[in-house]
Chains A and B, each alone.
Chain A
Amino acid sequence: MELAEAPMSTSTPEITPLDYTRYDFKDPETYRLRIPKGLSREVVEQISKFKDEPAWMREYRLRAYDHFVERPVPDWGPKLDEIDFDAYTYYANPLLEGETKRKWEDLPADIKNTFEKLGIPKAEREFFGGVGAQYDSGTVYHKIREDLAAKGVIFTDTDTAVKEHPDLVRKYFGKVVPYNDNKFSALNSAVWSGGSFVYIPPGVDAGIPLQAYFRINAKNVGQFERTLIIADKGAKVHYLEGCLPVGEEVLVGDELAPIETLAEGRAVLNSDGRETTIEKTMVRPFDGELIGITPVSVGNAFQLTPEHPVLCVPREKVQVSRRTTRQLTDVDTRKLLATPPEFVPAGELRPGDFLHYPINRTEHDVPEIDSAALTVLGYYLAEGCVQKINGCEAVTFTFNIAETEYVERLSVAIHAMTGKHPWRIPQPEKHAVSVGVYSKELYAFCLTHAGKLAGGKRLSKTLMELPPSKQRVLLEAYYEGDGNVYERSGTVHRAMTISRQLAFQVQELQARQGVYATINVREPFDETMPDGRTISHRRMYIVYHQVGKRFQAVRRSGNAFLVPIRRIDRTPYRGNVHNFHVAGNNNTYLVKGFSVHNCTAPIYSTDSLHAAVVEVVAEPYAKLRYTTIQNWSKNVYNLVTKRAVAYENALVEWVDGNMGSKITMKYPSVYLRGRGSRADILSVAFASEGQIIDSGAKAVHSAPDTSSKIIAKSIAIRGGQTSYRGLLHVAPGATGVKAAVRCDALLPDETGRSDTYPYNEIHEEDATITHEAVVGKIGEEQIFYLMSRGLNESDAIHLILMGFLAEFAKELPVDYALELNRLIQLEMAGAVG
């Protein structure tokens, strides 16, 4: 291996300490209209006045308010005693009433930016027939595609609808969910603001989904949107609402770990490349956009909250001139190396800025691991396999038949280590030669220091901390196996692996050799062979560096590399973000190898309240689907009433996913009032630490030949609680009813809890009712079954979980489904030992 000739300075510039006062992560809370917190008749009247509503609506609000005051908090289900209704602001609108915009450009800059960062205008162009956006109480944007509007489709905010479509609203408003249905429907009916109004005229198929986004920005502001959807005779529509989050990983010396799983006391690296320990971990709910930073090494891309300080050298400080004709200006290398890196909030980073990639300098020699051992490990990483052959531990290697030199080198090293001569078995049909040895010791050694299976190869902490001169032996052998060398403006050295862990570790080892290697990712793909067979290629990580190239984008500065940012993007995120304090006064840690400061954003400790009402009407022969993915931050009370009425031969489908929130109470219902109408309710609950998700479904059959299908799935881990609360009602006279209820609960660890409360009120004898409930099972029998086929416990659980949610995931738009899988995987990573 040769050293890359990266420009190098001799001293490390001092790092300026961080100025904590500069960061504020919420949008400034500037509202055109805002009523002070607390709830009273006056507040309700004031809201109605702001909205300049007709008298009937004002009176409706007041009746609802009176009922809200009288009605006690439900004495069943999760405890809601802690809610202090006077602690919330019931109305805060960044716009004046009636100012809802139809062009994003017309919005105030800060709000427009928020939604733009969330990617909503783009999504609207690409995927949706209409988009609504609500910011606290105010609907700030509503727009529908012109072709749909031409067909008479109405998609607007409910406030506007009250004014522009009074007859329609008055006909349906509060008819499906009366204000006195429950305490929270009363609350919503009194203080509602925003929400979507959708009307699909007879026979119209809206085609692509209509989508709404809801965002609580201000502290302690409740959100009380009111949604009313009407599919007239034979109409079809799919309405979608929600957002989903992501997670990030931290480099902790010997491995990459999702940041959520790191415990206090765990070792991490700081920006000096020294190991330090986590003193305190912090979690806070976050709702906003995450900044995605992709350096020239795209495999090292990572995400942070916008206020999170990142150590870097801004390009504008070191560029040659202020030329604007090219996207990136040239950089004065001398200036770059002389400029001390500084902390910049992630949200202010720009492409071309230089990230700080420190070189891990932790070093412990282990004399027993000699060059023979490192040679064997290097080959093992690339070509090796530990296995039991006839019950005996063996380590085997597969080489191309032409690689006699490597086979020879490996054989000598194995002999030096074990005293045994390895076998060589040519496999001419595969152009391969297999080399192997029976050795308990070598088997254990390889497993300990290098993992097993191609995807699970990784280096032990011991190896990662050996002196660089020794690591070089390991790298050389590894590159002979997994690597290749070719000429392209210099000599390119490349190693390919499907182990992500290994790719990052090789990058780190190369850094210790003085080489900054980039990581590229080749996404998995299916290849169809000429015989029609499909080969699935797994995701591949390519570690890559060039020697002898004249221009180097990455510079060496003291004990770090300065790596330019290639791309910055922003993604909406609603959920927990994680952070920690580390020991020592430097208080930095590395994300995907890059230095960031611990996060400085404030933590909201008070709760928020979301009490929506959704009313859906499906007129005869209409088909309507309502999909929700909620992932509110874990301090939100989410108390939602969702109900649909289905007339003759209509179909209503609720697809309802509940991940976030502190407490959720939500039971999507369908009242089947017309002969032959159908209901399909698919609900998923995922409750983790500190969460109670009390959800379920209701099907009320009051007409003959109606059918309903309810599938409720819940997962409760880490002390989370889920409940299924369901009602199946068959009214007298509703003959020929078919109803099927299935509720499955999965408790992957011992700490989650799941309860089922099914209520059946069947007044017709010929009803066909099936009810299946599988609750409280850890899936122990399933795990045993899968393990009896050779799968280890965590693989078995993963397969079961993914299967468990498959029914739900397949109903989601693809990006939602992917995020769901990711979220579950992250949540499970810490849950199953």
Chain B
Amino acid sequence: MAGEATSHRLDVKDLRVEVAGKEILKGVTLTLSSGELTALMGPNGSGKSTLAYALMGHPKYKVTHGTATIDGQDLLKMTVDKRSRAGLFLGFQYPQEVSGLSLSKFLWTAYMQRHTEKTANVKEYDATLKQHLTDVGMEENLLKRSLNEGFSGGEKKRVEVLQMTTLAPLFSILDEPDSGLDIDAVRAVGEAVAKFHREQGDRCGFLVITHYQRILKYLRPDRVHVMVDGVIALSGGRELAEELEAKGYDFVKVGVPGAA
């Protein structure tokens, strides 16, 4: 059932999102295409994570206006699990811990949501999983532990990447995969994502949310959007990230007419 290598699109149009009655996103429009890596930057509280959660369908994030589609399918009408099975993945900034549920059981259960008993290949799964573990620099014994429970910040982020590579989504949104990591861990996560990006070639599109330019060294984004106060205030190429790093976000607020 492997899909042919057609190009996929995730289109977000004029998306407005409320959280607890307060409008956080005030009309966001962006497009992700398979094979491309987009970075979404911006100061704290600008609405970057809100966009991620709203697209994944968190019940507290209420879409009041606008559309979001994958290849024309209305994402907003789907339950969370259906969005996942339609090819959307969210790498959480703060992954949940599930006590008593082993990482290996969880990965297998999630994997089986995308396969039937007949299409699943245990041998292949094991081999790939082992490779993916190596890619993110994790030991196999981590699989036996409860999902994320007692994991260090770095381990949690690596496990998010591991889930992404296991589930092989069409679109992967990574919410601050670098936050709270030391330099080595940023490199490990960055390189693992980059490797997956390379391997998936034109199959998977990425949206990487980050404050900092450092993980982008490994990821080399095709496009950079800067979100300020719930709108995309500035867009540009890779060089924009470096400029931001040097000048800070204030220049965006000042430099862009109309940005709130």
Specify the chain B residue showing the minimal Cβ separation from A803. Answer: B100
Q: Would you call A789 and B101 a contact (CB within 8 A)?
A: no
B81 touches A390 (CB 8 A): no
Could you say which of A180-188, A613-621, A689-697, A779-787 contacts chain B? A779-787
- The verdict on B141 contacting chain A, using a C-beta distance below 8 Å, is no
A790 touches B71 (CB 8 A): no
CB–CB B56/A391 < 8 A: no
A390 to B6, CA, bound (A): 9
Interface of B is mostly: mixed
- Determine whether A807 belongs to the interface, using a CB cutoff of 8 Å to chain B: yes
Quick one: given A391-B70, A802-B100, are A790 and B85 in contact (CB under 8 Å)? yes
Stretch of A350-358, A506-514, A601-609, A792-800 with 4 or more beta carbons under 8 angstroms from chain B: A792-800
Over the window 481-492 of chain A, the binary record of Cβ atoms lying under 8 Å from chain B Cβ atoms (1 yes, 0 no) is 000000000000
Cα(A790)–Cα(B80), bound, Å? 7
**Interfacial chain A residues near B116, Cβ < 8 Å:** 385, 387, 453-454
User: Does B167 sit at the interface, judged by CB under 8 A?
Assistant: yes
A388 to B98, CA, bound (A): 29
Chain A: CB-nearest residue to B71: A391
Residues in A whose Cβ lies below 8 Å from that of B106 = 786, 789, 799
Asked if B126 lies at the interface with its beta carbon under 8 angstroms from chain A, I say yes
Is B99's CB under 8 angstroms from A804's CB?
A: yes
**Contact yes or no, A390 B71, CB < 8 A:** yes
Q: Is A788 close to B, CB under 8 A? A: yes
A398 to chain B, nearest CB (A): 5
A326 at the interface (CB under 8 A from B): no
In the complex, A806→B58 CA distance in Å?
Answer: 27
Tell whether B252 is near chain A: CB-to-CB under 8 Å.
no
* Complex partner residue of B109 from A744, A782, A799, CB under 8 angstroms: A799
Q: Is the CB of A390 within 8 A of B3?
A: yes
In the bound complex, residues from chain B placing their C-beta under 8 Å from that of A807 are 99-100
Is A322 among interface residues, defined by CB-CB distance under 8 A?
no
B96 touches A785 (CB 8 A): yes
Chain B interface size range: 35 or more
**B146 & A790 in contact (Cβ 8 Å cutoff):** no
For B70, B79, B81, which residue has the most chain A Cβ atoms within 10 angstroms?
B81
Q: Is B86 a contact of A388 with CB atoms below 8 Å?
A: yes
CA gap between A806 and B98 in the complex, in Å: 11
Distance of A554 Cα from B70 Cα, bound (Å): 57
* Other-chain residue from A396, A535, A792, A795 in contact with B1 (beta carbon distance below 8 A): A396
With most chain B CB atoms within 10 A of its CB, the pick from A535, A790, A792, A799 is A790
Asked if A389 is at the interface (CB within 8 A of a chain B CB), the reply is: yes
**Are A788 and B123 in contact, with the CB atoms below 8 A?**
no
**Are B99 and A786 in contact, CB atoms less than 8 angstroms apart?**
no
B240 on the A face (CB < 8 A): no
Measured CA separation A796–B106 after assembly (Å) = 10
**Chain B residue nearest to A795 in the complex (CB):** B109
Indicate whether A391 sits within 8 Å of B73 (C-beta atoms), given known contacts A396-B1, A788-B84, A790-B167: yes
Between B56, B71, B89, B101, the greatest number of chain A beta carbons within 10 A of the residue's beta carbon is seen for B101
Q: Which residues of A contact B99 (CB under 8 A)?
A: 744, 803-804, 806-807
Does A533 lie at the interface of the complex (its beta carbon under 8 Å from any beta carbon of B)? yes
**For chain B residues 88-111, which have a beta carbon within 8 Å of chain A?**
89-90, 92, 95-96, 98-101, 105-106, 109-110
Q: How far is the CA of A788 from the CA of B85 in the complex (A)?
A: 9
**For the complex, is A805 an interface residue (Cβ under 8 Å from B)?**
yes
Q: How would residues 790 to 822 of chain A score, 1 for a CB under 8 Å from any chain B CB and 0 otherwise?
A: 111101100110111111000000000000000
Bound-state CA distance A398–B81 (Å) is 26
Do residues A786 and B3 form an inter-chain contact, with CB atoms below 8 A?
no
Q: How many angstroms between the C-alpha atoms of A428 and B119 in the bound complex?
A: 14
Contacts of B1 in A (CB 8 A): 387, 389, 396
Q: Which of B56, B109, B163 contacts A791 (CB 8 A)?
A: B109
Complex CA distance for A784 and B99, rounded to whole angstroms: 15
The CA-CA distance from A744 to B71 in the complex, in Å, is 42
Distance between Cα atoms of A391 and B72 in the complex (Å) = 9
Q: Which residue of B lies closest to A713 (CB)?
A: B99
A781 with B85, Cβ < 8 A, contacts A387-B116, A535-B122, A789-B167 known: no
CA distance A795 to B100 in the complex (A): 15
Which residues in A have their C-beta under 8 angstroms from that of B95?
Answer: 785
Rounded to whole angstroms, the CA-CA distance of A786 and B107 in the bound complex is 10
Cβ–Cβ < 8 Å partners of A803 in chain B: 98-101, 146-147
Return chain A residues, CB-CB under 8 Å to B128.
none
Q: Is the CB of A804 within 8 A of B126?
A: no
The residue that B114 contacts in the complex, of A780, A781, A790, A800, with Cβ under 8 A, is A790
Q: Could you tell me the distance between the alpha carbons of A796 and B110 in the complex, rounded to whole angstroms? A: 10
> Which residues of chain B are within 8 angstroms of A785 by Cβ–Cβ distance?
92, 95-96, 98
Q: Which residues of A contact B152 (CB under 8 A)?
A: none
Query: Could you say which of A385, A387, A787, A802 has the most chain B C-beta atoms within 10 Å of its C-beta?
Result: A787
Q: Are B126 and A787 in contact (CB under 8 A)?
A: no
Q: Is B139 an interface residue (CB 8 A)?
A: no
Question: Chain A residues with Cβ under 8 A from B119's Cβ?
Answer: 385
Report the separation of the CA atoms of residues A788 and B56 in the bound assembly, to the nearest whole angstrom: 7
Nearest residue (CB) in B for A386 is B116
Q: Give the shortest distance, in Å, between A152 (CB) and chain B (any CB).
A: 40
A787-B79 contact, Cβ under 8 Å, with A781-B96, A807-B100: yes
Specify which chain A residues have a CB less than 8 angstroms from the CB of B118 in the assembled complex.
385, 398
Q: In the complex, which residues of chain B have a beta carbon less than 8 angstroms from the beta carbon of A805?
A: 100
CA distance A800 to B59 in the complex (A): 18
Contact A533 B90 (CB under 8 A): no
Q: Is B44 an interface residue (CB 8 A)?
A: no
Q: How far is the CB of A580 from chain B (nearest CB, A)?
A: 34
Q: Using Cβ atoms and an 8 Å threshold, which residues of chain A touch B167? A: 789-790
Query: Is B117 an interface residue, CB under 8 A from the partner?
Result: yes
Chain A residue, CB-CB nearest to B108: A536
Binary interface encoding of chain A residues 375-391 relative to chain B, with 1 for a CB under 8 A from any of its CBs, else 0: 00000000001011111
A533–B90 CA distance with the chains assembled, in angstroms: 31
Closest Cβ of chain B: how far from A525's Cβ, in Å? 15
Q: Whole-angstrom distance between the alpha carbons of A802 and B100 in the complex?
A: 7
Interface residue B113 (Cβ < 8 Å from any Cβ of A)? yes
Which residue of A has the minimal Cβ distance to B58? A784
Q: Which one of B57, B79, B101, B147 lies within 8 Å of A802 (CB-CB)?
A: B101
Q: How far is the CA of A391 from the CA of B69 in the complex (A)?
A: 11
B96 interface neighbour in A454, A533, A782, A802, Cβ under 8 Å? A782
Among B139-181, those with CB < 8 Å from A are: 146-147, 163, 167
A760-789 at interface with B (beta carbon < 8 Å): 780-782, 784-789
Q: Name the residue of chain A whose CB is nearest to the CB of B53.
A: A784
Beyond contacts A803-B101, A807-B100: 11 other A-B pairs, Cβ-Cβ < 8 A, are: A396-B1, A398-B118, A533-B123, A785-B96, A788-B83, A788-B84, A789-B106, A789-B113, A792-B81, A796-B81, A802-B100
The 5 closest A-B pairs by CB, nearest first: A806-B100, A803-B100, A790-B113, A803-B101, A785-B96
Q: Name 11 interchain pairs, CB-CB below 8 A, sorted by A.
A: A388-B86, A389-B3, A391-B70, A533-B122, A744-B99, A786-B98, A788-B57, A789-B106, A796-B81, A802-B101, A806-B146
Interface residues, chain A, CB within 8 Å of chain B? Answer: 385, 387-391, 396, 398, 453-454, 533, 535, 744, 780-782, 784-793, 795-796, 799-800, 802-807
